[in-house]
Amino acid sequence: MGPVPDLTDRAQACARRLTEADSVLLASHIDADGLTSAAIASTALERAAVPHDVVFKKQLDETEIASIAASDHDTVLFTDFGSGQLDVISKHEAAGDFEPIIADHHQPADAETEFHLNPLLEGINGASELSGAGASYLLARALAAATGDPDGNRDLAALAVVGAVGDMQAVDGELVGANRGIVEEGAEAGVLEEGTDLALYGKQTRPLPKLLEYASEVRIPGVTNDETGAVGFLEGLPVDFHRGDGEATDGEWRRWVDLSDDEKQTVASSLLQRALERGVPPGKAERLVGTTYTLTDEATGTTLRDASEFSTLLNATARYERADVGLAVCLGDRGDAFDRARKLLENHRRNLSEGLEQVKRRGVDQAEHIQYFDAGDEIRETIVGIVAGMALGVEGVDGSRPIIAFAEKNDEETKVSARGTGRLVGKGLDLSTVMTEASRSVGGDGGGHDIAAGATIPTGEEESFVEAADSIVAEQLG
């Protein structure tokens, strides 16, 4: 039956068609969700002995779809995109260029195709209940069943969880809805462990002072963004956090994963107490502890052991034109590809930090219902959306309004990224609609999810875009 019964029939139909194909071109998006989607689908196709090639696209527009149509494959499997471009894809299908099979979770365009696996078609939320990697996982499970192994491909659940976490689907830190079924199958397969732990990024790899200093999930005055404060907090606890004798350097501090359960409890309790003493609201302070997802087949203390760190590593590959590296890591390369990915991650972190500092320096502009900034060519268009999401938590940026970021894509086009919050979505915000309608009003196009979406518009239309987006958000939020 699989983890999501409502989508079983669609998954089985897509799987049967794939097993009949002479050759398949697997086309996928470049973010963490897209990379894990491709890795899951490629592994499943290989196990089912279906010949295929893999390509990645930064965006799926008419030009890129035409290039896909020019390939010599009779079937194209789209993962983590395709639904929103179904109007264009269906024209190529009608022309006999290729037969599309889509495993996606974005808002579908107003067109139809026979082999379409998308949670939204069955009333399942594609922004918070099933990611692109989740849709690919359902397809992988159906492929295994179609080739005589109804319990096969459960080991791919770990990658599906990485994709969901990377796609910001952990609602209040926990995967919900259809994602829960995938978590449960991963646990049953022994590749995934769900637990309760300190909910800070970097528990596997960062020295303890850096773990606390750089933590942005809950900002604690005197600890967050305060190296001296983070060190002082740790040295005030009755635990030896040093690896050896003498004054500790970054390399001599223990990491979170090096601590015993009792030591972890001491740090977590003291950190919660410090947060409350420094004025952090109780409800927010409680977010210091949450649900974590551990990939049990990966080595302890590595970036790949934690789903959140794994997803960040993947974002650091494809967003710098090295999707091949991210895919290789997902497929099991722990040698050259992993080494290259870690170097790309270092560069990615540096660029994000510099981008956020730029936003802090120049501030954001305010419309009536939204806020925005134009990064020009100073922040890469592939990461400006991540920077925008990070900016929602800094001083001077209004957390009660969605934020829109512009970045130069080329001489003729501007990339637009938008980020919101769960609270705003609960009030009616749908950034997918905002990006689609506002971009089309100025001659561009866009889409995405209610909480995060993007678009491409003609350069010079930024002001008109802001006016249109502001008007749409005003309607949505009343």
**Cross-strand bridge partners of residue 53:** 25
d(CA 104, CA 81): 5
Provide the pLDDT for residue 248: 42
Whether residue 82 contacts residue 102, with contact meaning beta carbons closer than 8 Å, is answered with yes
How does DSSP assign 445-475, residue by residue? EEEE-SSEEEEEEETT-HHHHHHHHHHHHHH
Provide the pLDDT for residue 250: 47
Tell me the average pLDDT across 1-12: 87
Provide the pLDDT for residue 46: 98
Provide the pLDDT for residue 129: 96
**pLDDT category, 447, cuts 50, 70, 90?**
confident
- Structure tokens that stand for 236 in this block: 């005030």
**pLDDT category, 244, cuts 50, 70, 90?**
low
Nearest to 327 by CA among 335, 337, 312: 337
Nearest to 159 by CA among 34, 284, 258, 75: 34
- Alpha helix positions (H), 190-306: 208-213, 227-235, 261-277, 282-285
**pLDDT category, 249, cuts 50, 70, 90?**
very low
Tell me the average pLDDT across 187-205: 95
Most confident stretch, 142-146, 171-175, 196-200: 142-146
Share the mean pLDDT of the chain. Answer: 93
DSSP β-ladder status, 52-56 and 24-28: parallel
Kindly list the domain boundaries of the chain, sorted by start residue: 5-189, 198-354, 363-477
pLDDT in tens, 84-94: 999 999 999 99
pLDDT in tens, 52-61: 999 999 889 8
Task: Please determine, for residue 332, whether its predicted confidence score (pLDDT) is greater than 50.
Answer: yes
Provide the pLDDT for residue 464: 97
**pLDDT category, 1, cuts 50, 70, 90?**
low
Provide the pLDDT for residue 270: 96
**pLDDT category, 3, cuts 50, 70, 90?**
confident
Cα→Cα distances 374→92, 319, 387, Å: 36, 19, 12
Task: Please determine, for residue 247, whether its predicted confidence score (pLDDT) is greater than 70.
Answer: no
pTM beyond cutoff 0.85: yes
Percentage above 90 pLDDT, the chain: 84
Task: Please determine, for residue 420, whether its predicted confidence score (pLDDT) is greater than 90.
Answer: yes
Assigned CATH for 5-189: 3.90.1640.30
Tell me the average pLDDT across 181-190: 97
Tell me the average pLDDT across 293-321: 94
Provide the pLDDT for residue 169: 93
Task: Please determine, for residue 453, whether its predicted confidence score (pLDDT) is greater than 60.
Answer: yes
Provide the pLDDT for residue 218: 85
**pLDDT category, 171, cuts 50, 70, 90?**
confident
**pLDDT category, 77, cuts 50, 70, 90?**
very high
- Structure tokens that stand for 262 in this block: 């009792």
Task: Please determine, for residue 225, whether its predicted confidence score (pLDDT) is greater than 90.
Answer: no
Task: Please determine, for residue 267, whether its predicted confidence score (pLDDT) is greater than 80.
Answer: yes
Q: Identify the CATH assignment for 363-477 out of 3.10.180.10, 3.60.20.10, 3.10.310.40, 3.30.565.10.
A: 3.10.310.40
Provide the pLDDT for residue 393: 72
Tell me the average pLDDT across 205-231: 90
**pLDDT category, 98, cuts 50, 70, 90?**
very high
Tell me which of 22-36, 77-91, 380-394 is least confident.
380-394
Residue type, 12: Q
